[in-house]
């Protein structure tokens, strides 16, 4: 199983100011913005490889905080996001394998914009206790890194700096489907770092 791939973009652009929007909550903040927030250059570059994005999310992890282990949906697909991290050099994104016999349990939320299970519950993500996992991979996310957001993961900011992450779910231009990690990794192979 592949969990991440560092990507080298063919242009220099500093997105770090974008990540520091001050309307994020003080804690483990999350906010969604329109695709054009990041600018045309990134949109055009991904389009060359058949990829587009409809929205982006911003995450803020304060110093010495950990974003607990979770998956970004209620099932365990391998869907791809392109993440840009600023600040907190040395912080890590970690992936985990579930121990045999552990069943994933959705976290129910009243946020209608999030995911909906086949039984009709709305879920934001799936929370997983550390005791149910073993570590599978770890990296320091770059600017950017392609990441597998469907497998259990956490973020550890073990530094004294704030950590800002721009996170972009990737879709295929051809048929609008959400891209799996392996598929996006292949489509972007010319940009592998």
Binding site for Fe ion (CB under 5 A): 72
Q: Which residue is nearest to Fe ion (CB)?
A: 72
- The least CB distance from residue 72 to Fe ion, in Å, is 4
- The least CB distance from residue 114 to Fe ion, in Å, is 13
Give 143 or 151: the residue with its C-beta nearer to Fe ion.
Answer: 151
Torsion region of 103: left, alpha or beta (phi above 0 gives left; psi -120 to 50 gives alpha): beta
Give 11 or 113: the residue with its C-beta nearer to Fe ion.
Answer: 113
- The least CB distance from residue 110 to Fe ion, in Å, is 20
| Three-class SS state of 184 | helix
Give 48 or 117: the residue with its C-beta nearer to Fe ion.
Answer: 117
Contact 181, 146 (CB under 8 A): yes
Give 47 or 108: the residue with its C-beta nearer to Fe ion.
Answer: 108
Cα dihedral sign, 127-166-136-162:
negative
- The least CB distance from residue 44 to Fe ion, in Å, is 27
3-state secondary structure 40-100: HHHHHHHHHCCEECCEEEEEEECCCEEEEEEECCCCCCCEEEEEEEECCCCCEEEEEEECC
- The least CB distance from residue 163 to Fe ion, in Å, is 13
Give 72 or 183: the residue with its C-beta nearer to Fe ion.
Answer: 72
- In degrees to the nearest 10, what's the CA dihedral of 113, 117, 121, 122? -20
Q: How many CA atoms lie within 13 A of 87 on its CB side?
A: 23
């Amino acid at each position: 199983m592949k969990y991440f791939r560092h990507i080298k973009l063919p242009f220099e652009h500093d997105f770090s100011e974008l990540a520091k929007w001050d309307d994020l909550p003080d804690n483990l903040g999350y906010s969604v913005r329109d695709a054009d927030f990041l600018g045309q250059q990134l949109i055009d570059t991904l389009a060359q490889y058949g990829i587009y994005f409809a929205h982006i999310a911003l995450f803020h992890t304060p110093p010495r905080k950990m974003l607990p282990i979770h998956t970004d949906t209620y099932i365990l697909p391998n869907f791809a996001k392109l993440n840009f991290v600023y600040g907190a050099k040395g912080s890590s994104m970690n992936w985990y394998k579930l121990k045999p016999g552990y069943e994933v349990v959705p976290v129910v939320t009243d946020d209608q914009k999030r995911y909906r299970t086949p039984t009709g519950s709305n879920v934001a993500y799936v929370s997983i206790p550390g005791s149910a996992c073993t570590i599978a991979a770890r990296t320091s996310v770059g600017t950017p890194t392609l990441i597998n957001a469907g497998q259990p993961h956490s973020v550890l900011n073990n530094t004294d700096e704030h950590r800002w992450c721009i996170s972009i779910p990737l879709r295929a231009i051809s048929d609008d489907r959400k891209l799996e990690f392996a598929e996006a990794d292949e489509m972007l192979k010319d940009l592998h770092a």
